[in-house]
Amino acid sequence: MKSKLLLAVTLLASVICTVVPGGCKKSAPAVKPDETFGAYDTELDWNDSAKLTKLGYQESQGKRIFYQYCVWCHADASPAGPSNRSNLTPVPPLLNDGEKLNGESDEFIQNIITLGGSALGKSAMMPPYGNTLTATEIKEVIAFTRAIAQPPYQKPGRPGSQYTAE
């Protein structure tokens, strides 16, 4: 009788072990957001200050590079105040200008940043950055461009799998 009881307890215990998932989940702490929230891994929509775009690793690195090298001509304000954009003819596209940039392929943008405007028949005012930024860094800037594009950027090609993990 005793052995049966023991067996039953063992069985029950094994069953419980298999079924119940381990660990209890705790939510992450919430920081009270203010206007500086996520200064490094989000970007405010340039036209709509209520909209915040979350950036992944690649995009946030792109943001850093953009604000060091590109912001001077491809935005309407620079860290130093006035933008250089209005000094230039033809006027350089804003980085979030989806209408202009969504139609260009990643390869084209990669090339124009690497080789400069004149190599691709565009304005020579765009200098080549291929000796300054690595190919990875240029890809990061492109990822940032795509993330902040207005209207939003759609990846070309076949739609991916509709499969979702549980």
* Residues that bind other proteins in the complex, under the rule CB under 8 A: 3-4, 7, 10-11, 14-15, 17-18, 21-23, 25-29, 31-41, 56-58, 61, 64, 68-69, 72-73, 78, 80-82, 84, 87-88, 116, 118, 123-125, 127-129, 131-132, 136, 139, 155, 158, 160-166
- Counts for the chain of helices (H) and strands (E), in that order: 6, 2
Q: Which is nearer to other proteins, 49 or 161 (CB)?
A: 161
Cis status, amide bond into 21, omega within 30 of 0:
no
Q: How far is the CB of 44 from other proteins (least distance, A)?
A: 12
Q: Which is nearer to other proteins, 88 or 120 (CB)?
A: 88
Q: How far is the CB of 120 from other proteins (least distance, A)?
A: 15
Q: How far is the CB of 70 from other proteins (least distance, A)?
A: 9
Q: Which is nearer to other proteins, 37 or 108 (CB)?
A: 37
Rounded-to-5 percentages of helix, strand, coil across the chain:
40, 5, 50
Beta bridge partners of 81: 78
Polymer length of the chain: 166
| End-to-end C-alpha distance for the chain, whole angstroms | 44
Q: How far is the CB of 103 from other proteins (least distance, A)?
A: 20
Asked if 46 and 96 count as a contact pair (C-beta separation under 8 A), the reply is yes
- Nearest residue to 153 (alpha-carbon basis) of 109, 113, 92, 117: 109
Q: How far is CA 18 from CA 14, 21, 109, 158, in A?
A: 6, 8, 53, 41
Q: Which is nearer to other proteins, 46 or 72 (CB)?
A: 72
Q: Which is nearer to other proteins, 47 or 136 (CB)?
A: 136
Q: How far is the CB of 59 from other proteins (least distance, A)?
A: 9
